[in-house]
Amino acid sequence: MVTFSREKVTPAVSRIRNSPDVCMYLVEGRDRAVLIDTGNGVGDLKGYVEKMLDGKPYDVIVTHGHVDHASGADQFERVFMNELDYELSLKHCAIEHRKESFSNWRRMFPKIVMPQFEEEDFIPVRTRPYLPLEDGQEFKLGGITLRMIHTPGHTQGIMVILDIEERIAFFGDACGVEVLMLAEEAGTIEEYRDSLKRLKTFSGLYDRVLRNHGACESPCTVLDDNITVCEKILEGTDDKVPEIFEGMPCIRAMAIDCKSHKRIDGGEGNILYLANKIVSH
């Protein structure tokens, strides 16, 4: 049986987990709520969320179409996602792809226990249409307003979400301690740098950064760190550490300590990238 846990981040924001590698967020306003992301698509997330909300209406926002964020979307009726990630989600959320991702995670992090899932635990991939999610779109929940910021890089449709009243930025996978710029859906480092510079224009609207992996929170300086890392890659002055991620040869921009997994120079942001996806053509 798949179980979920909840931890309060603020009176309005809860972090939800059902595996150690990813979390979701539930934001509750006076009148409505929003579930941010749907995780790996195992277990009855809908039942868990609706029990917490006790009848309060809610929407679901999927920040991007990757396996660990969009796979549970088929449980829900009103699900919003940027159309640029629709096709990606069909591929990434396929059950076989989910099983492969769990296997990769267990191999990469053998010391952390990943639950074993049964066939009946897997939510079917969503093939029904999503509701559109666009840059600048707002969700008014009653005392809480969520604003969408399109921040392409990790994927083409990925969104950062601002909680205006609580001054929180949900960076998700858009900007963090190990941004993956590896797959075909990722942009170039040049495009990502420009995207982060636009995100920087909103920095006066938040004092706290939440993510979906690892410690799930970073100092606000993680944005400046990653802009600087992009500049180093573009200049050719990054550390260029060879890496293998899920079987894919890639480059880690900034060297890390193997035990702590933190940057040797003390910085927060880092990027894994491909040598042929640096400059836009």
pLDDT tens across 180-207, in order? 999 899 999 999 999 999 999 999 999 9
User: What pTM did the predictor assign?
Assistant: 0.96
| Cα–Cα distance measured from residue 270 to residue 131, given in angstroms and rounded to the nearest whole number | 32
Mean pLDDT value across residues 24-33: 98
Q: 């969520």: which residue's tokens?
A: 146
The strands making up 58-61's β-sheet, listed across from edge to edge, are 5-8, 13-19, 22-28, 33-36, 58-61, 79-81, 131-132
DSSP annotation string for 70-136:
HTTGGG-SSEEE-GGGHHHHHHHTSHHHHHHHHHHHHHH-TTSPPPP--GGGBPPPP-SPPEE--TT
Q: Identify the band that residue 91 occupies on the pLDDT scale cut at 50, 70 and 90.
A: very high
Mean pLDDT value across residues 211-235: 97
Structure tokens of 87?
A: 């096709």
DSSP annotation string for 178-216:
SEEE-STTS--HHHHHHHHHHHHTTGGG-SEEE-SSTTS
Q: How far is CA 8 from CA 26, 28, 57, 210, 250, in A?
A: 10, 11, 20, 13, 36
Read off the pLDDT of residues 64-75 as tens digits, 9 standing for 90 and up.
Answer: 999 999 999 999
Structure tokens of 71?
A: 């796979």
